[in-house]
Chains A and B, each alone.
Chain A
């Protein structure tokens, strides 16, 4: 089984997958606790706009996905916090709107092909060295921000009003969190795919919460679930020629079902 790591493309897929798993589990915990889970799904669809622009103009789709996802995250947070629009409504508008835009752009580019399919569902073959460098740089920056403001983000998730009254800069940190999530989602589309990344962010924390632990233990468990799922999913993808994103998500679902069964009320 270990011989699969002799292949450079599998080394890249594992390196990328493990970076994504840790980042997705940590940032996902915050959005789940804030009942903002649909954000990951929405930004994943927005990333597809970036990918399609990248395909259209012949630029690296990953960079374009990061830019599109970041801009959309700021617009969503601006509409939510300044215009006080309902979060779920804004997300629904961005989700369907961005998907429509991506389809139009891809149609114009005549690029409904295998390349686009890999962005939708993830592919272990698609991670390039350049992608890995972008993931390492952006992933490190995202992780640093999450760790720097970890306790403040936790306080905001628990009680935003008291956090604000304690002098914590809630507005700024909310923008930072959505920005980090936007980048993580854009980075994830190579391995997990735009249609499935939401699951990698949401299922690990939701499964971990079922065990009734404190926040730090819940987050550690969430990271463990994400890491194991990525390892099993990528391996299954290699051995059975499955789309990597789908294999990872099915593994996550098994963890979720196990967590439900173990912790039946």
Chain B
């Protein structure tokens, strides 16, 4: 009987621990809320966590890997390896329902609708005939009388909006 094997925490327990690791940019949601943890498995005595990055250049990716290793070490797992999986590509459709509520409460409007699989859009539809920016409700006063100020916001995953009712600017977690 291998004593170490008996002592290995179950995968359910590890998922639970991972659900406590916050996203470094938006600490109100966890990395499992974000839907980027795709797989957890034991490979002999090594824990392998598979993560799909949100955006190719998102600087949070490396911080997330370090946070996962730190969290696992705190629970006594010294040997944790990160694997990156690019395909299928991350989409905001993977955000949990819970995450959307948490984002709104935090002051960030969650993605509206489902990701349209942009890579399949005909190129001739990408210009001005593209669908208009989605109607986003203000996370503070819930008014839908809002406008996009900039397609790009404070992080790669967000756009900048303004509420025309309460006059507050806010971040929109864009559909991707």
| A associates with B | no
